[in-house]
């Protein structure tokens, strides 16, 4: 087993012998992969923050453009929860559309990577497109990851829309109707 290699290697070294194993190569490669994963995770977190701020900005602009409509809805007796739900649904839809486009783009990019790696031979080309088992795939995106990405993007949209939705609810009906 791989987990026992280091222990065996240490016992051999304690006897005064020198050893070499793939463990000496694997550890630095694993450490480098962890560093790259941390950098890509940081880049992803920054992208997520920028997307969240974009949704917040879009929703605040939507509220400022529809202030009069919000005032009319309140004056006609529309429940505050319905106004909040309307803006949260809008923010969730923005997140869903962004997540869907991201999933489509990722799937297309993954397919392109697999096609290029298949050396573009006619047999491998069809197998790479259909994700055949006889072709080594460079990029694989499982269906559950796409589903998680869609759900996560909707949740990010809802989270980003929470502040603007509450801002819309706090608008005074009389002041909103006067606003033009």
- Quote the CA–CA distance of 11 and 6 in Å, as a whole number: 9
Token output for 8:
């065996």
pLDDT at residue 6 greater than cutoff 70: yes
pTM for the structure as a whole? 0.73
High-pLDDT (> 90) share of the chain, %: 49
Give yes or no for a contact between 55 and 159, defined as CB atoms under 8 angstroms apart.
no
* pLDDT (0 to 100) of residue 4: 83
pLDDT at residue 126 greater than cutoff 70: no
- Quote the CA–CA distance of 142 and 55 in Å, as a whole number: 27
**pLDDT-based confidence at 155, cuts 50/70/90?**
very high
**pLDDT-based confidence at 114, cuts 50/70/90?**
confident
pLDDT at residue 134 greater than cutoff 70: no
**Would you tell me how many other CB atoms lie within 10 Å of the CB of residue 128?**
25
Residue in this structure with the two tokens 């070499």, named with its chain if needed: 20
DSSP state of 180: -
DSSP state of 171: S
Helix axis angle, 122-129 to 80-117, nearest 10°? 160
48-107 pLDDT, tens digit each = 999 999 999 999 999 988 888 888 898 888 899 999 999 999 999 999 999 999 999 999
* pLDDT (0 to 100) of residue 57: 95
Token output for 91:
């923010």
């Amino acid at each position: 087993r791989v987990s026992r290699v280091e222990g065996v290697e240490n016992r051999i070294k304690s006897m005064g012998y020198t050893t070499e194993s793939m463990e000496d190569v694997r550890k630095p490669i694993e450490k480098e992969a962890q560093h790259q994963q941390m950098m890509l995770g940081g880049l992803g977190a920054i992208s997520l923050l920028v997307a969240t701020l974009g949704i917040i900005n879009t929703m605040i602009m939507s509220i400022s453009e529809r202030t009069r409509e919000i005032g009319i809805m309140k004056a006609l007796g529309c429940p505050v929860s319905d106004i909040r739900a309307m803006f949260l649904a809008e923010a969730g839809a923005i997140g869903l559309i962004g997540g869907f486009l991201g999933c489509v783009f990722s799937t297309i990019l993954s397919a392109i990577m697999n096609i290029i790696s298949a050396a573009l031979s006619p047999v491998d080309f069809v197998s790479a497109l259909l994700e055949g088992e006889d072709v080594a795939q460079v990029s694989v995106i499982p269906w559950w990851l796409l589903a998680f990405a869609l759900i996560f993007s909707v949740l990010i949209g809802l989270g980003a829309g929470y502040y603007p939705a509450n801002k819309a609810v706090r608008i005074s009906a009389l002041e909103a109707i006067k606003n033009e």
